[in-house]
Amino acid sequence: MRVSLAKSTRSFSVAPDQPVLDAALDAGLNLPHSCKGGNCGACRARLLGGMVHYPNGRPLGLSDAEVAEGLILLCQARARTDLVIDTVEVSTPEDAIIKRLPSRIDRTERLSHDVLGVYLRLPAAEPFRFEPGQYIDILLSGGRRRSFSIASPPHDSRPLELHVRRVPGGELTEELFAERTRSSLLRIEGPLGRFVYRQNAGAPMLLVGGGTGLAPLKSIVRHVLDNGLRRDMILYWGVRSERDLYAHTELEDFSRRAANFRYVPVLSEPGAAWSGRRGWVHEAVLNDFATLDPFDVYASGPPAMITALRRDFRERGAADERLYFDSFDYAPDTLERQRTTAATKS
Ligand SMILES: Cc1cc2nc3c(=O)[nH]c(=O)nc-3n(C[C@H](O)[C@H](O)[C@H](O)COP(=O)(O)OP(=O)(O)OC[C@H]3O[C@@H](n4cnc5c(N)ncnc54)[C@H](O)[C@@H]3O)c2cc1C
Ligand code: FES
């Protein structure tokens, strides 16, 4: 089958089971992309002719409204017929050029029983410009990669702060928790992603994080507070129990010193002494607001939280075009291996 690019004489062939993006890259076309996992939305294109399907279901990075508009995600879409597509220009933040750089682990710090602060030193002579909320990929062998959000704000990013949750059986995170990685060299690529702070004077911001989903939100909060921006922010941070509140003191400190920042920790399995909010973090938000229409919503964390939040927040009036999210999925190679394992078992 052939895929033609509108407004261009270029075209390329694609196999029925091949992601359209892979075929385009194989053909030497430099189409915008980032995660290749259907999450970030960077590979969005408009389908002007033909039909596509998604073998793993509609990807998270594509909203109902976008489907209705005729947008597709090239990294997940498979062609059913010849296609005509118009690639949507990715609004790359000014100066945020994607680079591959060597970095050194400057230090690590145990933030909790399963979260490690990893501080990466980048080459001093190399500018690394990013927007609050973006992430980097740590490059592994064989073209594989692992994504981590940048927790530091752009104005205070040397070293670059990451919050890494240990994934049992995880190739990279288990390795990072081993003390021997200190001073190791890592190759990174970034900045990546469209989950970035948007200027929208006057609109209050609702930030919802699950676990290490706090990382990009912390970058955004510090960006707003340290630069004296006039934005009201409420951060709901959901974790399982008290021992998972790895940034509690710091966040309480932010809310003490800034009148425009409020912090609400929500525990799903608290101890008996916990007097704060209980339950799922997105449900705590729904309990507190009759409508979410006034807010710019920024949500990041586990895929299940993002899926539930996107569904329920829209019903509660959150505007689709002001609901920004980052879903902390596993890497595409891991998801593929998990699918293969599940398929062989069934
Ligand atoms: C945009 C983005 C930003 C992110 N930001 C952060 C962040 O700031 N902090 C953070 O902690 N996380 C973040 N994540 C999630 C993070 O990328 C993953 O947790 C990380 O990639 C795990 O890497 P790993 O090598 O340790 O695990 P992997 O090796 O990828 O393994 C993951 C899990 O899959 C299992 N697995 C592997 N192979 C198989 C198989 N064949 N069958 C069954 N199970 C299998 C493993 O046992 C393990 O439990 C982010 C993700 C995205 C997409
Ligand atoms: S590259 Fe397709 S959604 Fe990220």
pLDDT digits (tens, 9 = 90+) for 118-164: 999 999 999 899 999 999 999 999 889 999 999 999 999 999 999 99
CA–centroid distance, 82 to ligand 1, in Å, is 35
In this structure, are 106 and 79 located in the same domain? no
Residue 333, domain member (yes or no) = no
Choice between 11 and 240, residue whose per-residue pLDDT is larger:
240
Q: What strands lie across the sheet with 233-239, from one edge to the other? A: 277-278, 261-267, 233-239, 205-210, 296-301, 323-327
> What percent of the chain clears pLDDT 70, i.e. is strictly above it?
96
Residue 331 Cβ inside 6 Å of ligand 1? The answer reads yes
What average pLDDT does the segment 60-66 reach? Answer: 83
Domain range for residue 103?
A: 99-194
In this structure, are 141 and 110 located in the same domain? yes
Helix/strand/coil (H, E, C) string of 102-155? EEEEEEEEECCCCEEEEEEECCCCCCCCCCCCCEEEEECHHHCEEEEECCCCHH
Residue 213, domain member (yes or no) = yes
Res 92 pLDDT > 60:
no
pLDDT of the residue at 90 = 47
As given in the structure block, the two tokens for residue 200 are 């929208």
DSSP state, 96? -
In a 13 Å sphere around the CA of 278, the CA atoms on its Cβ side amount to 7
Residue 341, domain member (yes or no) = no
Q: Which residues contact 10 (CB under 8 A, 6 or more apart)?
A: 4, 29
What average pLDDT does the segment 76-89 reach? Answer: 88
pLDDT of the residue at 36 = 80
Residue 193 Cβ inside 6 Å of ligand 2? The answer reads no
Residue 317, domain member (yes or no) = yes
Residue bearing the CA closest to ligand 1, atom 33: 170
In this structure, are 153 and 218 located in the same domain? no
- The CATH number of whichever domain residue 272 belongs to comes to 3.40.50.80
Res 171 pLDDT > 50:
yes
- The CATH number of whichever domain residue 73 belongs to comes to 3.10.20.30
- The CATH number of whichever domain residue 173 belongs to comes to 2.40.30.10
Least confidently predicted of 22-36, 46-60, 85-99 = 85-99
What average pLDDT does the segment 64-82 reach? Answer: 93
Residue 286, domain member (yes or no) = yes
What average pLDDT does the segment 70-91 reach? Answer: 86
As given in the structure block, the two tokens for residue 53 are 């399907």
Residue 10: pLDDT band with limits 50, 70, 90 = confident
CA–centroid distance, 98 to ligand 2, in Å, is 15
| Final residue belonging to a domain, choices 150, 175, 194 | 194
Res 93 pLDDT > 60:
no
Pocket probe mutation, ligand 1, options 34, 146, 345, max atoms within 8 Å of Cβ: 146
In this structure, are 157 and 220 located in the same domain? no
pLDDT of the residue at 62 = 86
In this structure, are 317 and 219 located in the same domain? yes
In this structure, are 177 and 215 located in the same domain? no
Res 88 pLDDT > 70:
no
What average pLDDT does the segment 31-49 reach? Answer: 82
Q: What is the pTM of this model?
A: 0.86
Residue 52, domain member (yes or no) = yes
Q: What is the mean pLDDT of the chain?
A: 91
Taking the CA of residue 61 as reference, the ligand 2 atom at the shortest distance is: 3
Residue 79, domain member (yes or no) = yes
| Final residue belonging to a domain, choices 87, 108, 124 | 87
In whole angstroms, what is the distance from residue 283 CA to residue 292 CA? 13
Residue 36 Cβ inside 6 Å of ligand 2? The answer reads yes
Amino acid at 53: H
In this structure, are 80 and 146 located in the same domain? no
In this structure, are 127 and 37 located in the same domain? no
In this structure, are 237 and 283 located in the same domain? yes
In whole angstroms, what is the distance from residue 94 CA to residue 177 CA? 35
CA–centroid distance, 329 to ligand 1, in Å, is 7
Which three-class secondary structure state does DSSP give residue 52?
Answer: strand
Choice between 344 and 82, residue whose per-residue pLDDT is larger:
82
Length of the chain: 346
| Final residue belonging to a domain, choices 194, 214, 239 | 194
Q: What is the pLDDT of residues 215-227, one digit of tens each?
A: 999 999 999 999 9
In this structure, are 223 and 292 located in the same domain? yes
Choice between 332 and 158, residue whose per-residue pLDDT is larger:
158
In this structure, are 139 and 209 located in the same domain? no
Residue 149 Cβ inside 6 Å of ligand 1? The answer reads yes
In this structure, are 240 and 136 located in the same domain? no
pLDDT of the residue at 96 = 62
What average pLDDT does the segment 19-40 reach? Answer: 82
Q: What is the pLDDT of residues 224-244, one digit of tens each?
A: 999 999 999 999 999 999 999
CA–centroid distance, 94 to ligand 2, in Å, is 20
Residue 341 Cβ inside 6 Å of ligand 1? The answer reads yes
In whole angstroms, what is the distance from residue 311 CA to residue 292 CA? 13
Ligand showing the shortest atom-to-Cα distance for residue 171: 1
Amino acid at 113: H
Residue 147 Cβ inside 6 Å of ligand 1? The answer reads yes
Residue 93, domain member (yes or no) = no
In whole angstroms, what is the distance from residue 210 CA to residue 200 CA? 24
Of 87, 91, 100, the C-alpha closest to 45 is 87
pLDDT of the residue at 89 = 47
pLDDT of the residue at 233 = 98
What average pLDDT does the segment 292-296 reach? Answer: 96
Least confidently predicted of 33-37, 150-154, 237-241, 305-309 = 33-37
Of 181, 162, 161, the C-alpha closest to 171 is 181
Quick one: which H or E segment has residue 340? helix 332-345
Res 42 pLDDT > 80:
no
Residue 38 Cβ inside 6 Å of ligand 2? The answer reads yes
Domain count for the chain, please give it.
3
